[in-house]
């Protein structure tokens, strides 16, 4: 099967190559266009046996052959109906249902645009993973695995050139070490200083602290497939048992707030009408006793010992929750798990006890929080979903204006409170610290700072130290925040989030528009953009980059692990997805 | 003039109560300053461990939120040393979860002693048994047992302990077990070596000639005489076991929160080494003193019991 696909793909490539040779375009900028057209052929030959049709439209000028991919129908369950290059600098995306958050999703780092030629060359994996070829202000110089990631200024950048010649990423999991490095002047900026170090940094004239909006949430979850969490009354009782004020007051840095619902207050989807259960340990104890859970309930409290904006002191917070549970008679044994194993166990619904996990905004909209956790496509971490919540979320996601959407989210948040699939605990304030002489220093609400805009006191190298090493620089197939930040410097999406404010703003697309019901989105692309390898950016690069993620049968749908997790969480489903494993 | 003579049989040629090896050793130990210091430290430590509930000012696992007006990671406050009287007194300050650090360090002594003594006791029982069998029986039994011990010795002990705890799951009892397992080969080797030399002595040959059963010879007549080096090794081994347990707890594999274990306390607050150094200092000092105590005593015992040392 695989062999035949590959052969037909190669045949298509050869045929189009010959056609192109015959046409012999006069324009000199064929570097990126010829291979891009080849991708069209690959996509068309690749998907003809499935429910989709792909067309290579007649080229209007004889040199640009616009690519497109269309699903035959929306029955496959995903958001995209078609993606097409209208002309060299126009891309049209048609959706199966209205999506007001679409520009935010398009701006997200996982949707960075690759050169179609390069994607083809790497086969959607291989070199692409560690040797990116983007359009960003920095390009890869050298990646010393386990040591540092060195980026250098891309002189062909379309916008304002990076202010430093080099940008170096370093990493350390220990906040004390990061602070020492910043104080010693060996790095220009550190991410996530320890909450107790905020005062130290603010009191140091050589340093500056920039706090981020707390667009995140820490929650204590449980899986309702397992007793006693299958009982709604038990879940509601636990929902009253945690003193969140005490946690935020004692263990969170300034700028944090108590979570009254899953949505952070600064994002659309937060509904002030909804408030969480009042803290009432006596009532919780009573309800748990009535339900037969107490006395003598033993469980586990699992978490990963990884500092995140929503979880500034994992061990300390977990121990306080353990103490609070002990106060109502629940014996929770702390279980610290390895990060990857913990996330997998949660996602696969294997955690039978309580667990502490959180979520940070990828783009500022309710869909990024509520749909991901409580929608029909959510992971199994809370057990089976709730259909009445799905209904409200669908209503919220498919209406156009904020006024129309809001009532759905009020209802959704109320239902989440009622069903209590978890307890939202806190929205953590977090920060990034810089040396005082860094000009243009800011904190991105979604943790995606653009270091190209910063001038570290005239030095030619900006050194940034974060929590962990990036996993790769092909972010279509990554979910890790440390990885996404590195991608942001090298790769660009059609749109971006404005520094500081987080508003969606132009990047590789200069303007975008939608039809009245928000199902047809047209992006006008920036002219004269070059990739790091010198190729010219055009609409086919956009189509190829999206198709590589969208079409599970595309030969380019490879990535590092092949999960493309963000694509399904943003756009619901892959085209031609293989049948679910039993 | 006559010279009074004393009959030779009444002369004191030897002390009427000859001192045993252990009495000799004890006398010698009390002459050594470092061993005395070791014993004093350990004496205090044992007292602290026994009297922890009396000496502690607070419950070691209870957070003081809402109980007292204290913040997390507050430095020590001792009234007689000038800390304002209106502030609650905490000799070692408070930790990240607003618990009294002094009480936690005191209770930590219990855990460290328990882990050290029990894991070494476990290792001695198993190690000495197999070492004695191997040494006495020789042949293929010796080969099999000692090759197994060699395999255990081939792994760095802490790494092997980590592996064992990872398989069994973190927790104090599993830590104790893991440290015990990795200590076995040391005791087995020492016992085997002693048994090998003792079994050639005449009194053992005599036993054999009299038809005493082999196991009786081994466990009643040989092993008691092979204990000396084991005791020395055990005293030093307790120090190592306490350190290993602290290392495992530091890594999150040993004692689980909220248990007040020194290594875990240091591990949990390792990032506050600059902002709240007292949280690392006090458990660290407690650990150092304990290990120092066992090492000094162990060295003293070795010198006292080893006939090769000239006195």
Distance from CA of A183 to the nearest CA of B (A): 12
Q: Residue A32 has what pLDDT? A: 34
Query: Best mutation site among B64, B69, B256, B257 for testing chain A: the one with the most A CBs within 10 Å?
Result: B257
Is residue B12 very low, low, confident or very high in pLDDT (cuts 50, 70, 90)? low
* Interface check A196 vs B, CB under 8 A: yes
Task: Please give the residue of chain A at the shortest CA–CA distance from B264.
Answer: A315
> What residues are paired with A189 via a beta bridge?
A434, A464
DSSP, collapsed to helix, strand or coil, labels residue A476 as: helix
b/e A103-115 (16+ beta carbons within 10 angstroms → b): bbbbbbbbbbbbb
| Residue B310: exposure state from Cβ atoms within 10 A (0-12, 13-18, ≥19) | exposed
Residue in A196, A250, A305 nearest the CB of B98: A250
Which residues from chain B sit within 8 angstroms of residue A322, using beta carbons?
A: 257-258
Section A385-392 average pLDDT: 92
**Reported ipTM exceeds the 0.85 cut:** no
Separation of alpha carbons A538 and A116, rounded Å: 9
Query: Which tens digit of pLDDT belongs to each residue from B89-130?
Result: 999 999 999 999 999 999 999 999 999 999 999 999 999 999
- Integer angstrom CA distances of residue B260 from A299, B61, B77, B250: 21, 7, 20, 12
Q: Which residue has the tokens 């320890």?
A: A194
Say if the Cβ atoms of B61 and A313 lie within 8 Å: no
* Interface check A467 vs B, CB under 8 A: no
Query: Best mutation site among B274, B276, B277, B279 for testing chain A: the one with the most A CBs within 10 Å?
Result: B274
DSSP, collapsed to helix, strand or coil, labels residue A39 as: helix
CB atoms within 10 A of CB B156: 10
Q: Residue B301 has what pLDDT? A: 87
Strands (E), A137-293: 138-144, 148-153, 166-171, 189-191, 207-212, 216-221, 257-258
**Dihedral over Cα of B98, B101, B105, B110: its sign:** negative
Is residue B8 very low, low, confident or very high in pLDDT (cuts 50, 70, 90)? low
Say if the Cβ atoms of A336 and B170 lie within 8 Å: yes
Task: Please give the residue of chain A at the shortest CA–CA distance from B61.
Answer: A323
Those residues whose C-beta lies under 8 Å from the C-beta of residue A443, and which sit 6 or more positions away, are: A210, A211, A212, A431, A432, A449, A500
Q: Residue A581 has what pLDDT? A: 46
Which residues from chain B sit within 8 angstroms of residue A334, using beta carbons?
A: 256-257
Q: Give the domain ranges of chain A.
A: 8-126+497-571, 136-212+430-489, 216-427
Separation of alpha carbons A164 and A532, rounded Å: 17
* Interface check A533 vs B, CB under 8 A: no
Q: Residue A498 has what pLDDT? A: 86
Q: Residue A16 has what pLDDT? A: 41
User: Percent of chain B at pLDDT above 70?
Assistant: 92
Phi, psi (degrees; rounded to nearest 5) at A301:
-125, 100
Section B213-227 average pLDDT: 90
The tokens for A149 are 């990631």
- Integer angstrom CA distances of residue A115 from A159, A510, A544, B113, B119: 18, 18, 8, 64, 62
pTM of the model: 0.78
Q: For A147-151, A391-395, A560-564, which range has the lowest pLDDT when averaged over its residues?
A: A560-564
Give me the sheet containing A331-337, strands edge to edge. Answer: A257-258, A422-427, A216-221, A354-360, A298-304, A331-337
Separation of alpha carbons B221 and A149, rounded Å: 68
* Interface check A173 vs B, CB under 8 A: no
Task: Please give the residue of chain A at the shortest CA–CA distance from B170.
Answer: A335
Q: Residue B302 has what pLDDT? A: 86
* Interface check A300 vs B, CB under 8 A: no
Separation of alpha carbons B40 and B36, rounded Å: 6
Residue A352 or A1, more confident: A352
Query: Which tens digit of pLDDT belongs to each residue from B13-37?
Result: 555 676 777 787 788 888 888 899 9
DSSP, collapsed to helix, strand or coil, labels residue A142 as: strand
Residue A264: DSSP 8-state: -
Nearest to A68 by CA among A94, A29, A100: A94
CATH domain A136-212+430-489 topology: D-Maltodextrin-Binding Protein; domain 2 (3.40.190)
Nearest to A247 by CA among A175, A194, A323: A323
Q: Which residue has the tokens 């620089």?
A: A473
Q: For A72-81, A358-367, B279-288, which range has the lowest pLDDT when averaged over its residues?
A: A358-367
* Cα radius of gyration rounded to whole Å, chain A: 25
Nearest to A486 by CA among A165, A156, A151: A151
DSSP, collapsed to helix, strand or coil, labels residue A463 as: strand
* Interface check A204 vs B, CB under 8 A: no
Residue in B71, B257, B272 nearest the CB of A334: B257
User: What residue spans of A420-538 are helical by DSSP H?
Assistant: 481-490
Q: Residue B305 has what pLDDT? A: 79
Nearest to A362 by CA among A371, A349, A374, A351: A371
Contact predicate A132/A487, CB 8 Å: yes
Distance from CA of B258 to the nearest CA of A (A): 7
Task: Please give the residue of chain B at the shortest CA–CA distance from A199.
Answer: B275
- Integer angstrom CA distances of residue A478 from A108, A471, A473, B127, B294: 12, 8, 8, 50, 51
End-to-end CA distance of chain A: 21
Which residues from chain A sit within 8 angstroms of residue B61, using beta carbons?
A: 323
Separation of alpha carbons B190 and B186, rounded Å: 6
The tokens for A542 are 């956009």
Residue A364 or B195, more confident: B195
Q: Residue A337 has what pLDDT? A: 86
Q: Residue A491 has what pLDDT? A: 95
Task: Please give the residue of chain B at the shortest CA–CA distance from A314.
Answer: B268
Identify the CATH homologous superfamily for domain A216-427.
Dipeptide-binding Protein; Domain 3 (3.10.105.10)
Whether A56 has a pLDDT exceeding 60, the answer reads: no
Those residues whose C-beta lies under 8 Å from the C-beta of residue A317, and which sit 6 or more positions away, are: A218, A247, A251, A311, A356
Residue in B65, B252, B256 nearest the CB of A305: B252
Distance from CA of A103 to the nearest CA of B (A): 40
Say if the Cβ atoms of B272 and A196 lie within 8 Å: yes
Say if the Cβ atoms of B272 and A176 lie within 8 Å: yes
Distance from CA of B257 to the nearest CA of A (A): 7
* Interface check A202 vs B, CB under 8 A: no
Residue in B98, B258, B275 nearest the CB of A197: B275
Separation of alpha carbons A412 and A395, rounded Å: 10
Say if the Cβ atoms of A250 and B271 lie within 8 Å: no
- Integer angstrom CA distances of residue A407 from A272, A387, B56, B170: 11, 17, 56, 48
- Integer angstrom CA distances of residue A263 from A246, A248, A298, A375: 20, 16, 30, 14
Distance from CA of A196 to the nearest CA of B (A): 7
CB atoms within 10 A of CB A422: 27
Residue in B97, B268, B274 nearest the CB of A320: B97
Separation of alpha carbons A138 and A473, rounded Å: 12
Those residues whose C-beta lies under 8 Å from the C-beta of residue B294, and which sit 6 or more positions away, are: B38, B42, B116, B235, B236, B238, B239, B242
Residue A111: DSSP 8-state: G
Is residue A262 very low, low, confident or very high in pLDDT (cuts 50, 70, 90)? very high
* Interface check A174 vs B, CB under 8 A: yes
Stated as kind and residue range, the H or E segment containing A68 is strand A68-71
Query: Which tens digit of pLDDT belongs to each residue from B134-175?
Result: 999 999 999 999 999 999 999 999 999 999 999 998 889 999
Q: Residue A478 has what pLDDT? A: 86
Query: Which tens digit of pLDDT belongs to each residue from A268-320?
Result: 999 999 999 999 999 999 999 999 998 899 999 999 888 888 998 888 999 99
- Integer angstrom CA distances of residue B29 from B24, B117, B296: 9, 21, 11
Residue in B71, B252, B258 nearest the CB of A323: B258
Residue B11 or A530, more confident: A530
DSSP, collapsed to helix, strand or coil, labels residue A308 as: strand
Section A449-478 average pLDDT: 92
Contact predicate A469/A482, CB 8 Å: yes
Q: Residue B139 has what pLDDT? A: 94
CB atoms within 10 A of CB A245: 11
Separation of alpha carbons A39 and B137, rounded Å: 77
Whether A61 has a pLDDT exceeding 70, the answer reads: no
DSSP, collapsed to helix, strand or coil, labels residue A298 as: strand
b/e B48-85 (16+ beta carbons within 10 angstroms → b): bbeebeeebebebbbbbbeeeebebbbebbeeeeeeee
Residue in B256, B272, B275 nearest the CB of A334: B256
* Interface check A251 vs B, CB under 8 A: yes
Distance from CA of A293 to the nearest CA of B (A): 23
Separation of alpha carbons B115 and B31, rounded Å: 30
* Interface check A315 vs B, CB under 8 A: yes
Q: How many CB pairs under 8 A join A and B?
A: 56
Which residues from chain B sit within 8 angstroms of residue A304, using beta carbons?
A: none
Mean pLDDT (chain A) is 86
Separation of alpha carbons B50 and B261, rounded Å: 16
- Integer angstrom CA distances of residue B27 from A448, B20, B224: 71, 11, 21
Which residues from chain A sit within 8 angstroms of residue B271, using beta carbons?
A: 174-176, 194
Domains in chain B: ranges and CATH: 47-73+90-305 (1.10.3720.10)
Q: Which residue has the tokens 């909450």?
A: A195
CB atoms within 10 A of CB A18: 10
Which residues from chain B sit within 8 angstroms of residue A180, using beta carbons?
A: 274
Are A136-212+430-489 and A216-427 in the same CATH fold?
no
Say if the Cβ atoms of A180 and B170 lie within 8 Å: no
Q: Residue A579 has what pLDDT? A: 74
Residue in A176, A246, A250 nearest the CB of B271: A176
User: What residue spans of A97-224 are helical by DSSP H?
Assistant: 102-107, 116-122, 127-130, 175-184, 198-202
Query: Best mutation site among B61, B62, B64, B65 for testing chain A: the one with the most A CBs within 10 Å?
Result: B65
Separation of alpha carbons A313 and A356, rounded Å: 12
CB atoms within 10 A of CB A181: 17
Which residues from chain A sit within 8 angstroms of residue B96, using beta carbons?
A: 251, 313, 315-316
Q: Residue B13 has what pLDDT? A: 54
Phi, psi (degrees; rounded to nearest 5) at A536:
-90, 140
DSSP, collapsed to helix, strand or coil, labels residue A322 as: helix
The tokens for A190 are 């550190």
DSSP, collapsed to helix, strand or coil, labels residue A93 as: strand
Whether B286 has a pLDDT exceeding 80, the answer reads: yes
How many contiguous H segments (helices) and E segments (strands) does chain B have? 11, 0
Distance from CA of B273 to the nearest CA of A (A): 7
Nearest to B230 by CA among B118, B123, B152: B123
Say if the Cβ atoms of A179 and B256 lie within 8 Å: no
Phi, psi (degrees; rounded to nearest 5) at B6:
-105, 130
Say if the Cβ atoms of B97 and A316 lie within 8 Å: yes
Say if the Cβ atoms of A194 and B272 lie within 8 Å: yes
The tokens for B169 are 């799951």
């Amino acid at each position: 099967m695989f062999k035949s696909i590959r052969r037909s793909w190669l045949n298509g490539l050869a045929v189009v190559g010959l056609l192109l040779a015959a046409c012999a375009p006069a324009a000199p900028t064929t570097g990126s266009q010829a291979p891009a057209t080849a991708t069209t052929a690959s996509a068309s030959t690749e998907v003809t046996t499935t429910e989709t049709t792909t067309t290579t439209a007649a080229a209007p000028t004889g040199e640009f052959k616009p690519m497109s991919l269309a699903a035959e129908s929306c029955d496959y369950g995903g958001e995209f109906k078609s993606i097409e290059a209208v002309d060299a600098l126009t891309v049209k995306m048609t959706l199966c249902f209205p999506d007001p958050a679409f520009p935010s999703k398009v701006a997200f780092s996982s949707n960075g645009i690759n050169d179609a030629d390069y994607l083809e060359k790497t086969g959607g994996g291989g070199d692409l993973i560690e040797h990116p070829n983007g359009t960003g202000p920095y390009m890869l110089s050298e990646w010393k695995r386990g040591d540092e990631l060195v980026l250098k200024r891309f002189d062909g950048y379309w916008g304002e050139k990076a202010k430093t010649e080099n940008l170096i990423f370093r990493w350390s999991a220990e906040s004390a070490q990061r602070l020492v490095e910043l104080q010693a002047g060996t790095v220009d900026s550190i991410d996530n200083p320890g909450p107790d170090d905020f005062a130290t940094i603010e009191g140091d004239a050589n340093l500056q602290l920039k706090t981020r909006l707390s667009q995140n949430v820490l929650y204590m979850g449980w899986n309702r497939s397992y007793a006693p969490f299958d009982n709604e009354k038990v879940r509601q009782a636990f929902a009253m048992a945690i003193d969140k004020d005490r946690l935020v007051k004692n263990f969170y840095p300034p700028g944090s707030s108590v979570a009254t619902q899953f949505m952070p207050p600064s994002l659309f989807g937060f509904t002030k009408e909804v408030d969480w259960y009042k803290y009432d340990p006596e009532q919780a104890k009573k309800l748990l006793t009535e339900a037969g859970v107490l006395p003598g309930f033993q469980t586990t409290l699992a978490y990963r010992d990884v500092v995140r904006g929503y979880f500034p002191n994992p061990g300390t917070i977990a121990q306080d929750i353990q103490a609070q549970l002990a106060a109502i008679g629940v014996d929770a044994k702390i279980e610290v798990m390895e990060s990857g194993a913990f996330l997998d166990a949660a996602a696969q619904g294997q955690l039978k006890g309580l667990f502490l996990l959180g979520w940070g905004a990828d783009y500022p909209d309710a869909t990024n929080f509520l749909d991901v956790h409580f929608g029909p496509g959510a992971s199994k971490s809370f057990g089976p979903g709730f259909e009445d919540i799905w209904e409200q979320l669908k209503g919220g996601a498919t209406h156009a204006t904020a006024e129309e959407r809001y009532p759905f989210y009020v209802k959704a948040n109320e239902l989440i409170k009622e069903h209590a699939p978890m307890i939202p605990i806190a929205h953590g304030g977090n920060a990034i610290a810089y040396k005082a002489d860094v000009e243009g220093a800011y904190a991105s609400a979604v943790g995606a700072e653009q270091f190209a805009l910063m001038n570290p006191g005239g030095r030619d190298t900006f050194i940034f130290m974060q929590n962990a090493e990036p996993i790769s620089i092909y972010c279509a197939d990554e979910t890790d925040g440390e990885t996404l930040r590195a991608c942001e410097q090298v790769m660009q999406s059609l749109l971006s989030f404005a520094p500081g404010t987080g508003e969606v703003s132009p990047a590789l697309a200069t303007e975008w528009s939608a039809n009245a019901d928000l199902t047809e989105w047209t992006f006008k692309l920036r002219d004269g953009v070059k990739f790091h390898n010198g190729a010219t950016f055009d609409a086919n690069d956009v189509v190829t980059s999206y198709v590589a993620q969208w079409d599970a049968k595309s030969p380019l749908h490879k990535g590092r692990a092949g999960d493309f997790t963000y694509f399904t969480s943003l756009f619901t489903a892959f085209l031609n997805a293989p049948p679910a494993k039993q | 003039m006559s010279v009074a003579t004393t009959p030779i049989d009444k002369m004191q040629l030897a002390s009427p109560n000859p001192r045993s090896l252990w009495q000799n050793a004890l006398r010698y130990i009390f002459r050594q300053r470092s061993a005395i210091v070791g014993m004093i430290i350990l004496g205090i430590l044992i007292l602290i461990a026994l009297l922890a509930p009396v000496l502690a000012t607070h419950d070691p696992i209870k957070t003081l939120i809402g109980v007292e007006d204290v913040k997390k990671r507050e430095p020590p406050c001792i009234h007689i040393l000038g800390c304002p009287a209106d502030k609650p007194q905490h000799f070692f300050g408070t930790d990240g979860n607003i618990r009294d650090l002094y009480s936690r360090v005191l209770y930590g002594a219990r855990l460290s002693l328990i882990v050290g003594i029990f894991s070494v006791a476990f290792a001695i029982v198993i190690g000495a048994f197999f070492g004695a069998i191997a040494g006495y029986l020789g042949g293929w039994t010796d080969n099999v047992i000692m090759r197994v011990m060699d395999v255990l010795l081939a792994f760095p002990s802490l790494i092997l302990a980590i592996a064992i705890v990872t398989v069994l799951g973190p927790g104090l009892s599993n830590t104790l077990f893991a440290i015990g397992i990795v200590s076995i080969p040391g005791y087995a080797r020492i016992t085997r070596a002693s048994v090998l030399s003792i079994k050639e002595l005449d009194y053992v040959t005599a036993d054999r000639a009299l038809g005493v059963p082999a196991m009786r010879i081994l466990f009643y007549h040989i092993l008691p005489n092979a204990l000396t080096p084991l005791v020395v090794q055990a005293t030093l081994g307790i120090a190592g076991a306490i350190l290993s347990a602290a290392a495992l707890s530091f890594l999150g594999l040993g004692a689980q929160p909220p248990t007040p274990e020194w290594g875990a306390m240091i591990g949990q607050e390792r990032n506050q080494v600059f902002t709240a150094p007292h949280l690392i200092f006090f458990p660290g000092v407690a650990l150092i003193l304990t290990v120092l105590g066992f090492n000094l005593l162990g060295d003293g015992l070795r010198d006292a019991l080893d006939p090769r040392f000239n006195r």
